[in-house]
Amino acid sequence: MATALRTSLEEYLRSHYEPECELIGGELFQKPMGTLEHMDMETTLELILRRFQSMGKGRVAHELSIRQGDDVRIPDLVFTRPGAQFQNGILIDPPLLCVEILSPSQRPSELFAKCEAYHAWGVPYCWIIDPVKKLAWEYHQDSPVQLIPLTASLKAGEIAVGCNELFA
C-alpha cells in the first residue's frame, strides 16, 4: 500500500520504518503484512536454499534490503552471489535470485512487475510463490513467465528446488 509520504534516499537510509517500507521513485510503499502461510513458506525455502549456501554457491537472506540506484526494495528472499557487496547493510550488487511470496493483499501481476525491476537491475532469476494455492512461477531475465508444475523444479543457475519439496 502506498503512503502519501515522499522522502529522499538519504532520509530513508537514516530512518527505520515499522512496518517495513520500500522506497520507489522517492515514494514509500509499505510491504504487505505476512500471513502464517507466507512466513512458513519463507522459512521452508530459506532452509532449502541454505544447502546451496553450504556448497559455497552464495548466501541466502530473507527481507534483505537491496539498492537499485535511488530505490530500495525488500524481496522476501534473495540468494546473493559469492563476494556480493554491501553498503551500510544494504545489498548493492544484483543478487543471483530474488523470491517474492504472494500475500493475500497482492496480485501476481504486482510481483511480476517487481521482477521486471529486478531484471532491469541485473538480477537473472526471480521466483514467485503462492503458498496458499501451491503455485510457483519462474520469471527469468529475457524469458517469459513460466508456471512450474508441482512435479518439476524451480531453477536459478545451479540451484534447483523441487516444488514437491517446497509445498510438502
Q: Each residue's pLDDT tens digit in the chain (168 positions)?
A: 444 589 989 888 888 888 888 899 999 988 887 789 999 999 999 999 999 999 999 999 999 999 988 999 999 999 999 999 998 889 999 999 999 999 988 888 889 999 999 999 999 999 999 999 999 999 999 999 999 999 999 999 999 999 999 999
| DSSP SS3 for 158 | coil
Instruction: Give residue 89's pLDDT.
Output: 87
Cell digits for 18?
515499522
User: What span, in angstroms and rounded, lies between the C-alpha atoms of 97 and 45?
Assistant: 12
Decide if 48 contacts 69 (C-beta within 8 A).
no
At 1 the pLDDT is 43
In this prediction, residue 3 carries a pLDDT of 43
pLDDT of residue 4: 55
Task: Specify the pLDDT at position 47.
Answer: 97
Q: Where are the alpha helices (DSSP H) in 78-150?
A: 108-121
| Sign for the pseudo-dihedral over CA of 81, 83, 85, 91 | positive
Query: Three-class SS of residue 131?
Result: coil
User: Yes or no: is domain 34-166 CATH 3.30.390.30?
Assistant: no
One-letter-per-residue 3-state SS of 60-89: EEECCCEEECCEEECCCEEEECCCCCEECC
Cα separations in angstroms, 63 against 25, 75, 124, 145, 163: 20, 6, 19, 23, 22
C-alpha cell at 43: 522459512
Report domain extents, the chain: 34-166
Q: What is the pLDDT of residue 30?
A: 87
130 contacts 102 by C-beta, under 8 angstroms: yes
